[in-house]
Chain A
Amino acid sequence: MSVLVVVECDGGEVKKSSLEVASYGSQVAQLLGTTATAVAVGEATEANLAKLGEQGITKVLYDAEPRLKDFVNGAYTKLIATAAQKEDSKVIVLANSNIGASVGSRLSVRLQASLATNVVELPKTDGGSFLVKRGAFSGKAFADVKLEGERKIIAVKKNSIEALHEAGKTAQVEGFSAQLTDADFADAPKQVVMQDQAGGILLPEADKVVSGGRGMKGPENWSLIEDLAKAIGAATACSKPVSDVDWRPHHEHVGQTGITVSPNLYIACGISGAIQHLAGVNSSKVIVVINKDPEAPFFKAADYGIVGDVFDVLPKLTQAVKELS
């Protein structure tokens, strides 16, 4: 019996959120007195998979079938279910990502497992029960959820667990075949289109985000946001009104019906802080608000604030970062 960790890989690298998931899984394994095995999905290299030892993983199963490079719901579900059966895993841990949620929900039915998504802490296992803490009500509350039954699946929210790092430890990478057939690839994508990301940092994976609202006055002013983001290594984002009027693309919209982010640092520039926007960002660790209106509701949710004109303040911040380094 081992804990099974699903690690998502892209372009040969293990995603940052999967390093957190691997760390979570190895700590659950320790709690249950067993080891953690990973199963890799996406395009991976053996050298990078072996490095999962640094997150406490002892073994990695890797199916080198080339059609697994892109996400295919049917094939990924079968691959992970086969790995779970091979390892006799009672606990499966994955990322609370679009892939994790798509596969996790299908797996829970296939393996007759209970499922908790959006999980933010390690489980509590006192008195035979298995409790996990998850975010609820769009970040406005938490729920302790009891997972029933013999098998459990946990989807871990990004940036809620610190990734372990024990330099030099390696995991054993083992070839593995889930005997996938053409039928398992029936829902394979016809085309995959990657979006341009400012500075190459993916918004859902980012641990720093600089975001702009209507106060930026127009798309031509976005270089101020991009300059600060580049200086501190952040992804860029925007509020809903901004993506609604096409100043910025939809994939940068954070909020209740956009992308939910939980970075270590969220800098909101010219965003008043409507409750729907807060719902998408309120689990960020540190929130900075820059707005010329001192009454902007966002200041109530902020840790640091500057009452001032974004056109004056943003260049000063970018300059201050450059002076630091």
Chain B
Amino acid sequence: MSDVPSHLRYTSDHEWVLADGDSLKIGITRYAADALGDVVYVDHPAVGSSVQAGAIVGEVESTKSVGEIFSPVTGTVVETNQAVVDDPELINRDPYGEGWLFRVDTPDSPDLMDADAYTALIGQ
């Protein structure tokens, strides 16, 4: 059973988005982290780079497979989480907290799923 916190918003690519001050904080869901297995490598987008909603901006790799990170929004990357580069398993241990991936500054307010819709998507 994957937990799906109700205060977050979700994409069909199994990312979560949190409106946090002036920017959006982005990570992958526990469902995605569990499906990947132990994450051993994270590749972030560059700070300052422009990202397009739906475009591939990074990767998370487990021992078994590779997962692509899609940007949920269009905007500018303002911060990446160095802690998950140093300790990728943070994504497995705390996907909604310490295991966040990057922040995007965006003028848009993206159309995302709420927890109920995402829960339905992953069939829980």
Whether chain B is bound by chain A comes out as: no
